[in-house]
């Protein structure tokens, strides 16, 4: 297999990792105030993703860095072309990261509730915008002969792209609800389980509609089959969830997210960013790629270290495998008395 193809698969794999992992913590973030009805529950909800969300987000950073290294033209056109959506994603991820880390650093409910709002906004916005971004990637955007994006923000907001955004968000919500059901106990678990069933059906309809439309635009039999299996996995996950088998349900939605992303990448291949102006101007795995020397060096290093990363990230999930129980916590309803300097 050619190195450029291998790196196309690696990049796709990094996005798969990102969406499978951050997908559920986006979902958990979106559902924080929906399923967590009071502070102890919300704290339990946050704690399910606490040890892992940051590591999950690194998949995005590595996807960005690896694209820069392996396909500089792709990195340059994508990030400069999708300027404002990416700016919004960055702002949202900054707010979310800060809110996740800072919410527990103060003991008053007003503060925590403010942080919770930021977590929710910071989760829903990137989910929506990544969906819009990926829909546009598949659909093709105006790229000229020198690989420059020449469209406008409006050209990125077609009905198809908006459907992509909503479908991504809905799937992440269901994925997150199942993760919550898997990681909590008692009433919270049951509420998450019920919500997963409901939101899962909506997600399934939206996802099937989006994937079908996407394959109407681009793709071949193979990518369509992958998309079909993704839909089946989602449905199987929902069935498992119905029977309270949350481990299997989570596997189902994880596979669904993974295969849906794979099918989008497969539909584009060998393009990495199809041009809607002239197919000859599309960015492809060959004309966007780095030199064979760079790709070979990256392959060797990634070959050594990726298994290691998977091993220790997997170990984290193993260490924190136990369900989180809702614990009463001591918080003061308003700002606590300032411990202030002794003056």
Whichever of 51 and 270 has its CB closer to another protein, that residue is: 51
Whichever of 197 and 285 has its CB closer to another protein, that residue is: 285
Could you report how far apart the first and last alpha carbons of the chain are, in Å?
72
Closest to 137 in 3D by CA, of 67, 61, 204 = 67
Cα angle vertex 69, ends 63, 70, to 5°? 85
CB of 150 to another protein, least distance (A): 7
Whichever of 10 and 163 has its CB closer to another protein, that residue is: 10
Closest to 154 in 3D by CA, of 233, 71, 98, 84 = 84
Residue 193, SS3? helix
Paired tokens of 226: 């992958």
Hey, how many other C-beta atoms are within 10 angstroms of the C-beta on 330? 5
CB of 119 to another protein, least distance (A): 11
Residue 175 is classified by DSSP as H
CB of 322 to another protein, least distance (A): 5
* Contact yes or no for 193/243 (Cβ under 8 A): no
Q: What does the CA dihedral 284, 286, 287, 291 come to, rounded to 10 degrees? A: 140
Residue 204, SS3? helix
CB of 36 to another protein, least distance (A): 12
Whichever of 190 and 316 has its CB closer to another protein, that residue is: 316
CB of 182 to another protein, least distance (A): 16
For strands 283-284 and 271-273, give the pairing.
Answer: antiparallel
Whichever of 142 and 228 has its CB closer to another protein, that residue is: 142
CB of 337 to another protein, least distance (A): 12
CB of 79 to another protein, least distance (A): 3
**Integer CA distances (angstroms), 44 to 35, 100, 107, in order:** 11, 13, 15
Whichever of 220 and 278 has its CB closer to another protein, that residue is: 278
Whichever of 105 and 159 has its CB closer to another protein, that residue is: 105
* Contact yes or no for 274/218 (Cβ under 8 A): yes
């Amino acid at each position: 297999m050619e190195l450029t193809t291998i790196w196309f698969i690696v990049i796709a794999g990094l996005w798969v990792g990102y969406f499978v992992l951050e997908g559920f913590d986006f979902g958990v973030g979106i559902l924080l105030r929906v399923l967590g009805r009071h502070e102890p529950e919300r704290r339990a909800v946050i704690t399910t993703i606490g040890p892992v969300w940051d590591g999950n987000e690194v998949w995005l950073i590595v996807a960005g860095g690896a694209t820069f290294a392996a396909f500089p033209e792709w990195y340059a056109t994508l990030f400069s072309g999708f300027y404002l959506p990416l700016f919004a994603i960055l702002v949202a991820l900054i707010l979310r990261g800060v809110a996740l880390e800072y919410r527990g650093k103060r003991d008053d409910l007003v503060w925590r509730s403010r942080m919770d709002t930021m977590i929710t906004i910071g989760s829903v916005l990137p989910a929506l915008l990544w969906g819009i971004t990926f829909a546009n990637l598949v659909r093709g955007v105006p790229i000229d002969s020198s690989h420059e994006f020449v469209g406008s923000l409006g050209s990125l907001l077609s009905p198809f792209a908006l459907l992509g955004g909503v479908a991504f968000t809905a799937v992440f919500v269901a994925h997150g609800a199942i993760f919550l059901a898997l990681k909590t106990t008692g009433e919270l678990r049951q509420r998450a389980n019920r919500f997963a069933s409901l939101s899962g059906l909506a997600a399934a309809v939206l996802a099937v509609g989006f994937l079908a439309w996407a394959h109407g635009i681009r793709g071949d039999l193979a990518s369509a089959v992958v998309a079909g299996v993704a839909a089946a996995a989602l449905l199987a996950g929902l069935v498992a969830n119905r029977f309270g088998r949350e481990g299997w349900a989570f596997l189902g939605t994880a596979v669904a997210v993974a295969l849906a992303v794979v099918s989008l990448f497969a539909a584009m291949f060998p393009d990495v960013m199809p041009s809607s102006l002239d197919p000859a101007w599309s960015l492809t795995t060959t004309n966007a790629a780095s030199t064979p020397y760079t790709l070979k060096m990256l392959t060797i290093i990634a070959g050594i270290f990726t298994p290691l990363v998977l091993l220790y990230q997997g170990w984290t999930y193993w260490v924190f495998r136990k369900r989180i129980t809702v614990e009463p916590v001591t918080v003061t309803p308003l700002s606590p008395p300032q411990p202030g300097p002794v003056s």
